Amino acid sequence: MTDIDVRALDRELKRGSAELLILSLLDARPRHGYELSKLIHTRSGGQLSFHIDSLYPLLYRLEERAWIQGTWVEKPGARRRRFYRVTAEGRRVLARQRKTWDAFVEAVRRVTGGERA
Amino acid sequence: VPDPSTPTNKAPLRAGWASEIRSRLASVRLAPAREAEIVEELSQHLEDRWRELVAGGADPDVARQSALAEFRGPDVLARYLAPLRQAHWADPARPVGRGFVLGGVMTDLRNAVRALRAMPGFTIVALVVLTLGIGATTAIFSVVDAVVLRGLPFDEHNRLVAVGERGSPGGGKKRPAGPGPAPDPQAIGVVQPQNYLDWIAQQQVFASIAAVWDDTPTHRLPGAEPEELVAQRVTASFFDVLRIRPTIGRPLRPTTKSTDAIGWRC
């Protein structure tokens, strides 16, 4: 595999995993951008984090694909917030991505675990 | 947690977040309403981060710098937004310039091609109708142009007049037997040679007069097959009336032999 292929794979993995992370977190319930950012950081033990200038463009991209839908929610005495929820199409994509990701992780585990066995 | 909107606690104002974000969106063509939404949403994110840091004991100014450090660079946000559809908003109130008009035309053409591709049956029928229509129009215009619009290829062609005899109603020649359309009663007929000579001698209207008689002589060279020619017998004044010269030979004169001028073609 060439260096370019490795970089392309790395980019695709990051992009695909970022979408998977967002869709998975929103599958549980609607959340706003800052909450998503905090959850990814804390649940990954600080290993994963989104910068503000990549998190929101990613949310807007998923929104343009109609995988998630953002809605402004107003509460008394508080500033309105934009909450995102997964659409039906987003859930179908999430199911496919989970399947693909599981297969990928299993394949990598077989390769890397084979030497130790 | 101090209120960031309160100037007494050194907290950044919300307008401060907004200006930081707007400066990073300057190169992105967002609709004004959409830009306002993004500025509001990202301002909240920065404010949440700032509150969290201050609640954790950070100095408000340091917390502000830490919150802004979530931006990795001045152009990263714009680069990540650039591929999105919402980042290519076309302002309908923008002044119409040449490039803008051509851009609109190209967009219309692309849309038209997409629509035609989506309906191949309609496209084929429309193309056939258009082809037949253009062909028929071209053919009709060619005839009208040659017959009506363009004049005859002669000098002062508008002064040329065809003169002949017209039989009196009911007293003319009988229609020849056989199939075919009835002769036009208004058509000018053949002039008798003596009448033609009388017209020449007595008329004071025309500058000159010439007589023409359609003929189809048969031509045959020695040893070759006979060939029928399309010819006309004309009087000597023919070339003067039309103000033309023969392609080969000399113009006819009253004393010219009949073979001296052998042709003229329009």
Mutate to test the interface with A, among B66, B70, B88 (most CBs of A within 10 A): B70
A108 pLDDT higher than 50: yes
Token readout for B34 is 């959409």
Q: What is the pTM of this model?
A: 0.52
- Mean pLDDT of chain A, nearest integer: 87
Which alpha helices (DSSP H) does B145-262 contain, by range? 193-202, 238-242
pLDDT of residue B15: 62
Q: What angle do CA A89, A90, A96 make, to 5 degrees?
A: 95
Q: What are B197-219's pLDDT values in tens digits? A: 899 899 899 988 999 888 888 88
Cβ-proximal residues to B216 (8 Å cutoff; 6+ apart), any chain: B228, B229, B230, B231
- What is the DSSP secondary structure assignment for residue A80, as one 8-state letter? -
Q: What are B51-72's pLDDT values in tens digits? A: 999 999 999 889 998 999 989 8
Pick from B109, B104, B97, B5: nearest CA to B60 = B5
User: Is the Cβ pair A56, B24 closer than 8 Å?
Assistant: no
pLDDT of residue A89: 95
User: Is the Cβ pair B76, A54 closer than 8 Å?
Assistant: yes
User: Is the Cβ pair A58, B71 closer than 8 Å?
Assistant: no
Could you tell me if A100 and A86 are in contact, meaning their C-beta atoms sit under 8 angstroms apart?
no
Please report where in the chains the tokens 């450090």 appear, as a residue: B69
Local structure of B227: helix, strand or coil: strand
Q: What are B149-193's pLDDT values in tens digits? A: 887 888 888 889 888 887 665 544 555 555 666 667 777 778 888
Please report where in the chains the tokens 């010819």 appear, as a residue: B231
B266 pLDDT higher than 60: no
Q: Which residue of B has its CA nearest to A33?
A: B45
**Distances from the Cα of B67 to the Cα of A78, B54, B73, angstroms:** 21, 10, 13
Cα distance between residue A54 and residue B45, in whole Å: 13
A90 part of contact set with chain B, CB < 8 Å: no
Could you tell me if B206 and B160 are in contact, meaning their C-beta atoms sit under 8 angstroms apart?
no
Cα distance between residue B209 and residue B198, in whole Å: 11
B1 pLDDT higher than 50: no
User: Is the Cβ pair A53, B71 closer than 8 Å?
Assistant: yes
Cα distance between residue B218 and residue B227, in whole Å: 6
> Is residue B14 very low, low, confident or very high in pLDDT (cuts 50, 70, 90)?
low
Tell me which of B180 and B144 has the higher pLDDT.
B144
User: Is the Cβ pair A54, B86 closer than 8 Å?
Assistant: no
User: Is the Cβ pair B42, A56 closer than 8 Å?
Assistant: yes
Please compute Rg for chain B using Cα positions: 46
User: Is the Cβ pair A34, B44 closer than 8 Å?
Assistant: yes
- What is the DSSP secondary structure assignment for residue B180, as one 8-state letter? S
ipTM of the complex: 0.85
pLDDT of residue A81: 94
Q: How many residues does chain B have?
A: 266
Pick from B201, B206, B211: nearest CA to B165 = B211
Report the share of chain B in percent with pLDDT over 70: 78
**Distances from the Cα of B232 to the Cα of B9, B183, B217, angstroms:** 114, 22, 9
A37 part of contact set with chain B, CB < 8 Å: yes
Mean pLDDT for B211-240 is 85
Q: What are A28-85's pLDDT values in tens digits? A: 999 999 999 999 999 989 888 889 999 999 999 999 999 999 999 998 888 899 999 9
- What is the DSSP secondary structure assignment for residue B41, as one 8-state letter? H
A57 part of contact set with chain B, CB < 8 Å: yes
Least confident of B29-43, B80-94, B231-245: B80-94
Cα distance between residue A87 and residue A70, in whole Å: 10
Chain B residues with CB-CB distance to A54 below 8 A = 72, 76, 80
- Mean pLDDT of chain B, nearest integer: 80
Rounded to the nearest angstrom, the minimum Cα separation between A94 and chain B is 21
pLDDT of residue A11: 65
Least confident of B92-101, B146-155, B156-165, B240-249: B92-101
Please compute Rg for chain A using Cα positions: 17
Token readout for B109 is 């053409």
